[in-house]
Amino acid sequence: MASHLDLEEQEQIDELKHFWKRWGDLITWAAIAALGSYAAWMGWQSWSTKQAAQSAALYDTVERAAISADMALLDRSVADIEDKFASTSYAQQAALLAARIYQDKARPADARKQLTWVIDKSDDAGYQALARLRLAALQIEDKAFDAARQQLAAKVPASFEPLVADRLGDIDMLENKPADAIKHYQQAWKGFDANAEYRRLVAVKLSALGADPEETSAKEPNK
C-alpha cells in the first residue's frame, strides 16, 4: 500500500513539474504584472490624495489673501497653485476667485488673464462656461462686443444657456439692436426656472423694451 501511494505521489509531482515547466514563466509574469498594476494603482491613489491635500491647503491661502485683500499674497499664491496643481479643481476655483478680486481692485488685465487661464486649462465645462461669461462681461465693459460674442458663441452646459442669452441681449442693447435684444432676453426668460430670481431681472429688461414675456411665450408655439 505504501508503495502504491508513493507511486501516486511521484506521478502527481511529475505532472506538477510538467505543468510548471510549460506554464510557469507565463504564470510568473502574469503575477508580476498584476502586482505591478496594483502597486501603480496604490501609488496613483497616494499621489492623488497628496495632490488634493496640498492644493486644498494652497487654495486656503488664496482665499485668506482674497478676504484680507493682501494682493501680494494673492498674486503669489494663485500663481503657485496654477503652476503646481493646474489640473485640480482648487486651482480653477482659485483663478476664478482671483479674477473677481482683481476686477474689484481695478486690475482688469489680471482678471482677464485668470479667466482666460480657466478657459484654456480647465476640463470642467461648468468652470469654463462661468469664466467665459465673466470674461465676456469685462469685454462688454471695454466695448469689445465682437470679442464678447466670440466668447459667448462657445458651447456651454444647458444650465448656462439662459445666462449666455441674457448676456447676448445686453450686447444687442448696447449696439442699439432692440429687436435682437428682445429675442435673446426672451430666450433667457424661457430658459430660467420659474422661481429663479434672475428670471425676474430678465422680465424687467423685456418690459423696458415694451415686451411682455408671458404674452411672447404664449404666442411662441403658433409661430
Residue 51 C-alpha cell reads as 495632490
Per-residue pLDDT at 28: 62
- Evaluate whether 218 touches 190 at the Cβ level (below 8 Å): no
Q: Work out the mean pLDDT of the chain and round it to a whole number.
A: 83
**Is residue 221 scored above 70 in pLDDT?**
no
Instruction: Express each pLDDT in 98-137 by its tens digit.
Output: 999 999 999 999 999 999 999 999 989 999 999 999 999 9
Residue 221 C-alpha cell reads as 408655439
Residues contacting 220, CB < 8 A, separation 6+:
190
* DSSP result, 189-207: HHHS-TT-HHHHHHHHHHH
- Evaluate whether 40 touches 60 at the Cβ level (below 8 Å): no
Residue 85 C-alpha cell reads as 496643481
Instruction: Express each pLDDT in 188-205 by its tens digit.
Output: 999 999 888 889 999 999
* DSSP result, the chain: -HHHHHHHHHHHHHHHHHHHHHHHHHHHHHHHHHHHHHHHHHHHHHHHHHHHHHHHHHHHHHHHHHHHT-HHHHHHHHHHHHHH-TTSHHHHHHHHHHHHHHHHTT-HHHHHHHHHHHHHH---HHHHHHHHHHHHHHHHHTT-HHHHHHHHTS---GGGHHHHHHHHHHHHHHTT-HHHHHHHHHHHHHHS-TT-HHHHHHHHHHHHTT--HHHHHHHGGG-
| Type of residue at 195 | N
**Is residue 31 scored above 50 in pLDDT?**
yes
Mean pLDDT of 175-191: 94
Q: Which of 147, 153, 204, 154 lies closest to 181, judged by CA?
A: 204
